Amino acid sequence: MSSDESPNAASSERRDAVREKAQQVKARQSRARLIRRTSLAVVMVAVVAVIAVVVTWTVSSSASKPTMSPANGVDDGFVVTGVTGLGIASDTSGADGSAQGVATPTPTEAPADAPAEPTPTPTVDDHAVDIRVYVDYLSTGSREFQLANMKQLSEWVDEGAAQLSYYPVAMLTAKSNGTKYSLRAAGAAACVAQHSPDYFFAFNDALLRDQPEVNSDGFSDRELWSLASATGVDDAKAVRACIEDQAYTSWAKTATERALEELPGTDGIALTTTPMVLVNGTQYVGKLDDPKEFAQFVLTVASDAYFKATPTPTPTPAP
């Protein structure tokens, strides 16, 4: 080898060494990128798997959990068994779960010089009239009807002149800023009807008298319990747990859906508004805030039912 070839050979070796080192660095970088991509893919697969497990568990739990229905209900309604608890205020501090500032108003009395007008009794020959009221606890019309007719309805129940039933529904669920107040109130009414039936009428009355405004949040579950507690319900522990656990909200939703399709015991009548009041299956379409008009309607329906049920005597031919 000549002397002028040695520098070229050394230079070539250095280039090869640099090239080899660059290739090694490139290889390490490629391996690092591959490891990062593989790790990211593993993490993503793990996250997807966890989400799938959670969704599957949630769906299966919901599917396996049956909708609780109140045993005391009849065709999604509750018969008033008594008027216990009416007129009790609920002005409590809230330390025990009571709502603050919630009170049952005192019924308005007639002036002293006003002539007394006895409430007509809607019975003919001891046949009780069947009165059914479909009520949404956020419906202003439901409140008007209750305030106007509560006194005579309670008297009719006490006298055995009428079988009064309320059907809590939730048509205005979307009118409470997302709190679903109508649905929760209907479920709370079912709780009282189930665990303290003698106080159902009083709680029903309190829900309507102290009715929140439409498009407000409505009462919380704790405040709903406060209203129930103020009436003096029996088995307070069970009623409170039922209301605060929203035990019957799913039932209230399905009951409303059934009513919107067809009301039981009617010839294809469906719920279209609240309140909807049926007397012996005939819908009342008069003024909601006129108790005299409603009483006259009830008497008329009761009389018609009696005369239809009473057979006409067959004349005896003369000898």
Same domain, 96 and 201: yes
Least trusted range by pLDDT, from 71-80, 105-114, 130-139, 233-242: 105-114
Do the beta carbons of residue 148 and residue 290 sit within 8 Å?
yes
Judgement on whether residues 50 and 97 belong to the same structural domain of the protein: no
The CATH number covering residue 232 comes to 3.40.30.10
- With contact defined as beta carbons under 8 Å apart, do 263 and 271 qualify? yes
Assess whether 97 and 246 both reside in one domain.
yes
Alpha carbon distance 251, 12 (integer Å): 87
Residues 101 and 185 in one domain: yes
Instruction: Identify the pLDDT of residue 182.
Output: 97
For residue range 27-65, list pLDDT tens digits in order. 777 777 778 777 777 767 666 665 654 444 444 444 344
Burial, 220: exposed, middle or buried (Cβ in 10 Å; 0-12, 13-18, 19+)?
A: middle
162 contacts 236 by C-beta, under 8 angstroms: no
β-bridge pairing 276-279 and 282-283: antiparallel
Q: Decide if 1 is inside a domain.
A: no
- The domain of 30 spans 10-59
Pick the more confident residue, 307 or 271. Answer: 271
Residue 232 lies in a domain: yes
Neighbours of 235 (CB within 10 A): 14
Predicted confidence (pLDDT) at residue 131 exceeds the cutoff of 80: yes
Q: What are 226-252's pLDDT values in tens digits?
A: 999 999 999 999 999 999 999 999 999
pLDDT over 50 at 199, yes or no: yes
Identify whether residues 164 and 28 lie together within a single domain: no
* CA dist., res. 142 & res. 274, Å (int): 6
What is the pLDDT averaged over residues 183-191?
A: 98
In a domain, 67, yes or no: no
Determine the average pLDDT of the residues in 209-224: 97
When comparing pLDDT for 83 and 301, which is higher? 301
The rounded percent of the chain whose pLDDT value lies above 70 is: 71
- Size of the chain, expressed as the number of residues it contains: 319
Asked if residue 270 is part of any domain, the answer here is yes
302 shares a domain with 228: yes
Tokens describing residue 154:
């309670």
Is 314 within the bounds of a domain? Answer: no
C-alpha 86/C-alpha 297 separation (Å) is 25
309: pLDDT strictly greater than 80: no
Q: What is the mean pLDDT of residues 119-141?
A: 80
DSSP 77: B
- pLDDT higher at 308 or 128: 128
Q: Is residue 200 part of a domain?
A: yes
Determine the average pLDDT of the residues in 169-195: 97
The verdict on 268 and 132 lying in the same domain is: yes
**Same domain, residue pair 139 and 258:** yes
Strands 129-135 and 276-279: antiparallel
Q: Under 8 Å CB-to-CB from 243, ≥6 apart: which residues? A: 187, 188, 191, 221, 224, 225, 228
Assigned domain for 90 exists: yes
In this prediction, residues 283-292 reach a mean pLDDT of 96
Average pLDDT, integer, range 64-77: 81
Q: Residue 277: CB partners within 8 Å, gap ≥ 6?
A: 131, 132, 133, 134, 145, 283, 284, 294
**Of 86, 226, 228, nearest to 146 (Cα)?**
86
Indicate whether 135 and 261 sit together in one domain: yes
- Do 130 and 226 share a domain, yes or no? yes
pLDDT at 303: 87
Is the per-residue pLDDT at 175 higher than 80? yes
d(CA 234, CA 72): 15
pLDDT of residue 129: 95
Q: Given the DSSP bridges, would you call strands 78-79 and 162-168 parallel, antiparallel or unpaired? A: antiparallel
Is 317 a member of any domain?
no
Looking at the structure, tell me whether residues 87 and 170 fall in a common domain. yes
The total number of structural domains that make up the chain: 2
Q: Residue 111: is its pLDDT beyond 60?
A: no
The predicted-structure confidence for 159-173, as pLDDT tens digits, reads as follows 999 999 999 999 999
Q: 198 with 147, same domain?
A: yes
Alpha-carbon gap, residue 248 to 97, rounded angstroms: 20
